[in-house]
Amino acid sequence: MTDQPKVEPERLYMHVARRLEQSIRLGHYPVNSRLPSEREIADSFGVSRPTVREATIVLEVRGLIEMRHKAGAYVVATECEADASYLTDNVGPFEVTEARRLFEGEAAALATATIDRNELAELESLLSKMADNDLDQTIRERADRAFHLTLAGSTRNEAIVSVVRTLWDKRYSSPLCSYLFSLARQLGIQPAVEDHRRILDALRARNADGARAAMRDHLKRVTESLYLATEHDARERTRLKMDERRHVFARRAGVSELAG
């Protein structure tokens, strides 16, 4: 893993992810084996530990490895169903959310003229699931997705449904989106029930301007939650970089890393 080709900085973690995936596919790391530590991989590639962390997140989302608490990364599969184009999908969460504000705001306004009673009842049912803290978080997130797709479907425009579905699913198919939305969940950010309630109330009232504003306000708050996630991420990256520098200087001075 020496003499690595020059890689664009924003793509560096993707380069590491591709090389690690190749090693897994070639059998260098069989199923149930442990990958080298973050520090070992970072040294091998000449990159930072945050870069390695992002690369392993990509592989975990692809289903190739599993992160085990205090044990490291273990290989759980040597092949995955997702095609290789996944590793070139570098659309960011802020881009996705901006596009959603544009499309879903207008979709909500349009839906006020076409939505029927059954669809309103379905949205109410989905909202109840999103508000039920006793349900698993995955179920609540699926209800959130279904809410937005049901609303899109109520416009009677399949092109709108297709756009909304594609944008929503980017949060799972794009490594960058998956990483930051996952971090937001770890910080306790949950589906915004009250935001969806305001959207539903505007739909019931057939208030196009109100529905548009409620949807745009909701997605503005999604953007704000992503800012919180990136701030946390930046602090963590800084901490990791400081750790790296501390270890380097400790080794140079012959100081034990466990020393206070």
Q: Print burial letters for 89-100: b (CB count within 10 Å at least 16), e (below 16).
A: eebbbbebbebb
Residues 6+ apart with CB under 8 A from 148: 104, 164, 168
CB 234, CB 226: distance < 8 Å:
no
Report CA 26 to chain centroid distance, whole Å. Answer: 28
Domains of the chain: 9-84 (1.10.10.10), 89-236 (1.20.120.530)
Q: Tens digit of pLDDT per residue, the chain (260 long)?
A: 445 544 444 467 778 888 999 999 888 999 999 999 988 999 999 888 777 877 887 787 778 888 776 788 899 988 764 444 444 556 678 788 889 999 999 999 999 999 999 999 999 999 999 999 888 877 888 999 999 999 999 999 999 999 999 998 887 777 677 777 777 776 667 778 999 999 999 999 999 999 999 999 999 988 888 777 777 665 665 665 566 566 665 666 665 554 44
So what's the pLDDT on residue 49? 79
Residue 223 pLDDT: 85
Q: Which residues contact 175 (CB under 8 A, 6 or more apart)?
A: 13, 14, 17, 54, 57, 58, 61, 86, 87, 89, 90
Which pLDDT does position 2 carry in this prediction? 47
Whole-number pLDDT of residue 110: 98
Strands 72-75, 65-68: parallel, antiparallel or unpaired by DSSP?
antiparallel
pLDDT (0 to 100) of residue 8: 45
Predicted confidence at residue 92, as pLDDT, reads: 72
Q: How far is residue 134 from each of residues 100, 138, 164, 220, measured CA to CA in Å?
A: 29, 12, 28, 27
